[in-house]
Amino acid sequence: MPPVAVPNEAPKKQLRVAIIGQSTFAAEVFKLLQKDGHEVVGVFTVLDKGNREDPLATIAAQYGKPVFKYKTWRIKGKVIPEVLEEYKSVNADINVLPFCSQFIPMEVIMHPKYQSICYHPSILPRHRGASSINWTLIEGDTTCGLSIFWADDGLDTGPILLQKSFPATIDDTVDTLYNKYLYPEGIKALAESVNMVANGTAPRILQTEDGATYDPALFKPDTHQIDWSKGGIALHNFIRGLDSSPGATTFIKPQTKEGIVEGSEADVEVKFFGSSLWQAEYEAEGDQLLIPGLDTPAVIHEAGLLITANDGVKLNVQRLKVNGKMINAQNFFKANESKVTLELTAEEKQFVEGARDIWKAILTIDIENDTDFFASGAGSMDVVRLVEEIKDLAQIELQNEDIYMNTTFEEFCQIAVMKSRGGSDAADIVYDGVEMDVNKMKIKFPTQLFINGEFIDSDSGKFLTIVNPSDESVICKVQSASVSDVDKAVKAAKVAFEEGEWSKISARERGQLLFKLADLMEQHKEELATIESIDSGAVYTLALKTHIGMSIETWRYFAGWCDKIQGSTIPVSHARPNRNLTLTRREPIGVCALITPWNYPLMMLSWKMAACLAAGNTVVMKPAAVCPLTALKFAELCARAGIPRGVVNILPGSGALCGQALADHPLVRKLGFTGSTEIGQTIMKSCAVSNMKKVSLELGGKSPLIIFEDCDLDKAVRNGMAAVFFNKGENCIAAGRLFVEERIHDDFVRRVVAETKKMAIGDPLHRGTSHGPQNHKAHMDKLIEEGATLVYGGGRVDRKGFYFTPTVFTDVQDHMYIAKEESFGPIMIISKFSSKNIDDVIRRANGTEYGLASGVFTRDVSRALAAAERVDAGTVFINTYNKTDVAAPFGGFKQSGFGKDLGQEALNEYLKTKCITIEY
């Protein structure tokens, strides 16, 4: 029978309508009929569940309509007289049954002038019965639909009034068909049908028996059992046909990763949800699960449970209900592992209390954290109500399955908060770590690799020994990534980029997630600064302000950029008269690798990764081998903040092994590196040879600082010292050579030495310390310089730890080693120049292969701007130094590298531009 449908026309007369049914579906039909001008004269629905009435009753009461609630309409097969009389009293012209779970007597069906019309979610006569949507999927139909029919004394056999059909794909589920078509279109179809009745255009087309089916209701347990002898397509259809409820069921023997638990008699009930046909070309790797009836063991892997049917067809199942508890399939063997609870913001705590009120209103009981939604009497329609009310409360888009998988109030709030942050799964995070009492606080950080949302051990079994530079004590040992670990992390990042939650959320949601991460970093600011101090030797007060403070600012800055990345339309010459439109899209590159140095561990991570994630990429990051601890703590915060699995991967390891593997990996499409020029050259070669991956390099520097005789000398001394000694001289833009005008040279040197002697060298955690230890011993040993006049310092401090005295050299000649090469330590190198020959000092300033930063001190604006124009460096400071900002682009020229960190320009490093031309 072909579907019947006519254009909807406004009713020419208003009918008196009785609505018999229940649910939000019926409530929406009620509202649409009222809008069309019909008069709903009575609503007949089910009894309240406790103190909870049906949504149809609620909406009817709001409109002031009479509501009747019956447990049943019949006793022993006969209509209850009192019920029939109450029904007749509303004097309806027509009965509308949008969703009705009760048997309605024919005395009621046939009583009105226009009798009764019913909604059915199939294209009748196919799939008559109570489980029609399920059978549409189980039978693999490629078309679904709905019917409005005239009720008779049969079961869905009355004449057809209106039908609509829609495509059903191999990926559809009960929920997708219902949400896309059967719910919204069914509501409109019922309203159209009433209007057709009012206009006298409603047909009565008798149902044919050709192609008719009557499928059993899927209520009894034996109807849910999976027949594993069937082919893969049939298994997929059966599982998705039962996806909403009650779930396709099988029984297995109790198992661990090692195999079946011997001696256990009780089988484990497992229900399967979220099936999809396996399209991947590669074989999934993981732990085996033995399922009776399958020739091949199923595989628990990072994306679910991979089942190979006996005909060879593969399907992947995302969720399992094991003995009544819903879990992600990949967590089958992890069900008993502890979880890290989310740390909530003040706004999120307010949401939790609002959600508690919603649960209380639905369940009419006091809500504790362990209150179970379904054990407390909730049904499927309560799930719909909960989803809608949470959306109204906080604009959080939950799916029905989110409630089925997180049935207690605490679990529900966790998944809702995760959704609001952009993630979808509760964070199953456990790790081996270190707890310490230091700096008057308790700190804790992981010591494992962070891959695909989990902390795991390295495949190699090798470790990095992490030393506290202030006292040379061993802090801990950290897992060191192998080449296979790199491959594992890159593949996880690729899956997250192409298929994971990160690829599905909007740019604005991505920004909200990064803001959440920044807030969490703010909450842990003191802990992060303490870890940075003991790990890298950073002075704690500086770490609070710069190492950590600027990191947080960076994440907030780029979080704001997420929804402002856009292309443009271009007026190409063929636009007219050929009607062509040319536009550009700014798209993420894909999997990016980041390799960062040891001088600002967390800040360098943030400078690169924030822009990278804001652009929509995923990341595999290798921190410096000598100080990876804040990067690992950052990984923990990512998990707590709800960053989806695989988006951020942190791999401590050696540069020669782990770093080289990232440069060589064919799935990495961009590599960002900060470090030495020599290593940068090696990386660039590897990137070119491997797959021509995009590269940005922030390399060495020998930044000149030119101080003219007309400067504010006090300011020049203060800033000159900061330009050299800031962060112990372990600063990529440190002033590597000061050119001081000869007339003020001696006075400048005298003042610098006097101030340098006042610097407090010592424990970086002490609030009065201004100069802490160098990062690690191998670097400190390289700092001894020769070949010029040493006026102060020049050696290691006589105490435990990697302390080096701030040092001042004068009479430095251009040919000397210390005039050309970066020291990366607290060493001030001073040369004289004459203002009578500015060209010469500019030539000398540009006389190295570096071009990262520079500085000029003078009161003469013209001279300052002229020098700024001619100095070949990516950053020029005038009458200041070290004044970087998250909004200002940062990067060098020549052998200081190319590409930018920070500012809008940094986004260009992690985006690709696609040009699209359309002829219309």
Which one from 28, 509, 698, 909 is the annotated catalytic residue? 698
The structure tokens 């069937």 sit at 230
- Is 656 among the annotated ligand-binding positions? yes
Q: Which residue has the tokens 């001008």?
A: 37
Q: To 10 degrees, what angle do helices 713-725 and 742-757 make?
A: 60
Q: How far apart are CA 474 and CA 468, in angstroms?
A: 6
The string over 467-485, giving b where at least 16 C-beta atoms fall within 10 Å of a residue's C-beta and e elsewhere, is: bbbbeeeebbebbbbbbeb
Distance CA 318, CA 322 (A): 13
Active site residue 498: no
- One-character DSSP codes across 258-292: TEE-TT--SPEEEEEEEEEE---SSPP-SEEE--T
Q: Which residues have CB under 8 Å from 258's CB, separation 6+?
A: none
Residue 792, strand partner residues? 808
Displacement of CA 558 from its chain's centroid (Å): 15
676 has binding-site annotation: yes
Catalytic residue among 236, 592, 732, 745: 732
As a whole number of angstroms, the longest Cα–Cα distance in the chain is 115
- Token pair for 138: 């189980």
* 260 touches 238 (CB < 8 A): no
Is residue 529 a known part of a binding site? Answer: no
| Alpha carbons 225 and 242: distance in angstroms, whole number | 10
Neighbouring-strand partners of residue 273: 319
192, containing H or E segment: helix 184-199
Q: Name the residue among 414, 485, 453, 422 with its Cα closest to residue 647.
A: 453
Q: Is 488 annotated as a binding residue?
A: no
Angle at 879 between CA 873 and CA 883, to 5 degrees: 65
Residues near 428 by beta carbon (within 8 Å), at least 6 away in sequence: 331, 334, 337, 339, 453, 454
Say whether 606 counts as a known binding-site residue: no
Is 660 a known ligand-binding residue?
yes
CB crowding 437-453: b at 16 or more within 10 Å, else e: eebeeebebbbbbbbbb
CB-CB contact of 764 with 537 (8 Å): yes
657 is in an annotated binding site: yes
Instruction: Give the burial class of 395: count Cβ atoms within 10 A of its Cβ; 0-12 exposed, 13-18 middle, 19 or more buried.
Output: exposed
Is 22 annotated for ligand binding?
no
Is 574 among the residues known to form the active site? no
822 known ligand binder? yes
The β-bridge partners of 167 are 143
Query: How many residues comprise the chain?
Result: 920
For the chain, count helices (H), then strands (E). Answer: 28, 42
233 labelled binding-site residue: no
28 is an annotated ligand-binding site residue: no
C-beta of residue 404 within 8 angstroms of C-beta of residue 328: no
156 marked as part of a ligand binding site: yes
- What is the rounded CA–CA span in Å between residue 760 and residue 661? 42
Contact 624, 494 (CB under 8 A): no
Closest by Cα among 377, 381, 383 to 412 = 383
Catalytic residue among 38, 120, 524, 779: 120
Given a contact cutoff of 8 angstroms between Cβ atoms, the answer to whether 705 and 737 are in contact is: yes
Is 655 flagged in the annotation as binding?
yes
> Does the annotation mark 732 as catalytic?
yes
| Binding-site residues for (6R)-10-formyltetrahydrofolate | 102-104, 156
Annotated binding site for NADP(+): 655-660, 675-676, 782, 822-824
Q: Could you list the active site residues?
A: 120, 698, 732
